[in-house]
Each structure stands twice: as C-alpha cells, then as structure tokens.
Structure 1
Amino acid sequence: MTRATLRLRLRELDIKIIDLTRIFGISRPTVYKMIENYERGELTEVRMECISLFNYITQNKYVTVNQVQIYVAENILTRRQTKREPRFDSINKEAFIKILLDCNHFDCLLGYFLSCYKLLEKDNLNSDEKKFLEPLKKLYHSLGHDIKK
C-alpha cells in the first residue's frame, strides 16, 4: 500500500481524527496536517510517532482496529509513560533514516559514508585517506560546517 491510502485505511478501520488527537496529544488541524504531509511523502514535517503509526496502518494490509489499538498502547503510550528519550536527537535524523529505509535514492552514498565514518574515527590519516575524505569535506563546507580531520 502507498502513503496515499492512509485516509482510506483510517476510514476502513473506523479510526477517527478525534481518536488520533487523543493518541498524539495534538489538535485536529495538526492531525490533518500530519496526514497530508505523510500522504505527500513530506516526512520531515511529520512527527516520528505519527509516521510509525501511519506506516503500521498502511503497510499491514490485514491489520484490524484492535491490532492498531494494541500497537498504540505498546509503542506510543508506553513510550510516553516511561518517558523514554527518542532514539535519535532530531526529527530530521529520524525522518532521514525512515527515507533511507523506504527508498533507494541514497543507496550509492551509504558505502562512502560508512567508509568516511571509519576514517573519521582514526587518530592519524595517511594522504590517501585524507584525499578520500575530500568530497565529504566539500559537502560539509558547502553547508557551512567543518570536519575536524
């Protein structure tokens, strides 16, 4: 199923917007905005817990309303009650990881980034390793950041 079927799935499961406002603790207009952004694929504008639930609803063809309620209780409400910190320190990081999992646009870069990570962990780099890191340094510089190596 695609993201565009979220509204249809919510209707099929008889999950109302008011139910989502209670689950997420946000207003109705905000829920509508989250749904619209999710359906458009603008995941950086959607809260991670919303993405998680919306994916569960749209990607599990045979999910029932009872299973959704269990999912909410186990994955959203429990996290809130135990006040667990989010796994990642920014919404952008979480959204990017989600995008990496859902598409292959950045697959060609992953090997390079993994190699860069290993080199950045080293104390001393030889000239070949420094040359290998140059494209990453240029990218950082173009974004107004610096790499210390």
Structure 2
Amino acid sequence: MKQRMRELNIKMTELSEYVKVSRPTLYKYIESYESGDFSSLPEHILKLFKLMENPDVTKEQVVTFTISSFSETDANDSREKIRRYLANPSSSARKIDFIANLVESDCLDDLIPYLNDCISILSKEKIDDDGTYQVARLLLMKSQLSRNLPLKGDELEEAKKLAEELNVH
C-alpha cells in the first residue's frame, strides 16, 4: 500500500486528512491491510485500500472517493448516500443510468411510492402474507421479464392505450 501511495503521489499526511484519522492510525491500518488482517479495518478504509490497489485508478479518483466517502455529512442522509454512490467508480452503470432517468423524467413518478414499499418489504428477513400480496405484481413482472416471456392476449394493445394516455412514446 505504501508503494502504491508513492505511485499515486499521495502523502501519508494528505491521506490521513482525507480519511479523518491520525497518521499513526493510518499507519496501523496500512500494516493491517498489508498483513491481510482485513477484519481489524473499518469497512470504508478497506474499500479505499482495495480501490487504491487497482492499477488503473488515478490520484484524482482516490481523492474523489475519499472526499465523498469520508465527508462529515450525515451518512444516513439519502442525498448523501446517492452522492456517494454516484462518486464511487465501482457503482453499477445501469443503476446510475436509471437514477438519471428518474431525475430527468416524471413518467414513473406514480410508481415510486409502490417501489419504495416493495424494497422495504423485500428487505425484511421474513415476509408475511400482506407483504407478499403487496409485492406480488412486482415479483411476477420481474420473473416474466427475466425469462423474456411474451405478452399475453391484449396486453400490448392495452399498453399502447396507456402509453398514449400518459403521452409516453
């Protein structure tokens, strides 16, 4: 890690300021990482070191990652979580495209409360019958899409009418 920091031209004092730990603590983290003792490292430090190991990562990317991951704002703030996700080079491009589409269009706004409820339900360890009923349509649609099943009966015509009503093309 120390060698990689030299390659990236990142000084120990600079990195310790970014990650908001003392230099001795950062040295300890680096020693733990280099010895393979990952369990003693905070998760955000481990992610940073793994990112830094990537030979294609630049100093600018490391700085951006540390600033976004180690900012003093509340990590529970939804906007902060989104900002961090977007700044992370390993984030899913598909999710980023989807987020951008949600921001730029309002055609799916009516679905957002339902999808948020579904995410809450599906995140539970055990889903009761009411929860299953709530997410059933989403799960069935996901299954049909993943298996690339054709539309049934008049579904295409109904969808065309709905799209015209919504002015979606």
Band the TM-score falls in, shorter-chain normalisation = 0.3 to 0.5
- Larger radius of gyration between Structure 1 and Structure 2: 2
Greater RCO (CA < 8 Å, at least 6 residues apart)? 1
